[in-house]
Amino acid sequence: MAVNFHYIYPVPLHFDLRKVVFCLQKIALLEGKRLGDVNIVFCNNPYIYRLNVEYLKHFYPTDVITFDYSSYPVVAGDIFIGVDVVRANAQRFSVTFQAELLRVIFHGLLHLCGYKDKTKAQRLQMRRKEDYYLKLFTDYAD
């Protein structure tokens, strides 16, 4: 098991990445899974825009795109994070950048655990899971 952080775009992280890895391991366990190899890639708007167009046919930048390579019960994949969109969403929702960044990281892992967000009901379930884990690991978002 390895969680790797990659920086296509520099991002100021004000939390200990070892704690983030611990949170991801715990979330996977609480979801009945094991954490495998996960790459978290921080990128800018042009980079995530290109991914969104190429793989999802969405013509806008986004906060997170997840590529799932999981094989039950091990979750594995690549989580691309659009730092610019995360920063804008933090302002929009009146939360800190770090809290929104952690939400998006958790969101990506929840996709690897099998959660979807295509329908309104799925988005609501995903948001509830994100909120639950953010509260559970509230010390890590400070």
For 10-20, write each residue's pLDDT tens digit: 777 777 888 89
Domain residues for the domain of 121 are 2-141
The single-letter DSSP state of residue 11 is -
Q: Look-up: residue for tokens 């929702």?
A: 93
**Segment 66-97, tens digit of pLDDT:** 999 999 999 999 999 999 999 999 999 999 99
User: Which residues have CB under 8 Å from 107's CB, separation 6+?
Assistant: 63, 64, 126, 130
Spell 99-119 as b/e; 16+ CB within 10 A means b.
Answer: bbbbbbbbbbbbbbbebeeee
Closest CA to 82 of 36, 117, 47, 58: 47
**Segment 21-73, tens digit of pLDDT:** 999 999 999 999 999 999 999 999 999 999 999 999 999 999 999 999 999 99
Considering its fold, how many domains does the chain have in total?
1
> Which CATH number fits the domain that encloses residue 88?
3.40.390.30
Is residue 104 within 8 Å of 117, Cβ to Cβ?
no
- φ/ψ region of 19 (left if φ > 0, alpha if ψ in -120 to 50, else beta) reads alpha
